[in-house]
Amino acid sequence: MPGAQLLERVVTVTEEYLGPASERFIYRLIRFHLSKEPSSLSKKDIPKLTEWVKVSLGLLTNDKKLVDDCEKNLLKLAA
């Protein structure tokens, strides 16, 4: 799956939890924590990105089920 397509799917998954701020949030995580451009995202980056999303969501909500659900849905994209 090309990087741009994978990126779009990551944003779509996280929109369910973060709403319209999702794209900006994901782009920043990729640039800052993965040190790459979002369009070059690969499946091998998904586990590390998912950890950062999980930590960040955990700071925003106490809903462990929501955080775990997001993690599960993001990790499916690496398969």
- pLDDT averaged per 10 residues in sequence order, the chain, 79 residues: 86 94 96 95 96 95 95 95
Task: Give the pTM.
Answer: 0.91
Domain containing 44: what range?
A: 3-78
Q: How many domains does the chain have?
A: 1
* Interatomic CA distance for residues 73 and 67, integer angstroms: 10
**Do residues 27 and 52 lie in contact, with contact meaning Cβ atoms separated by under 8 Å?**
no
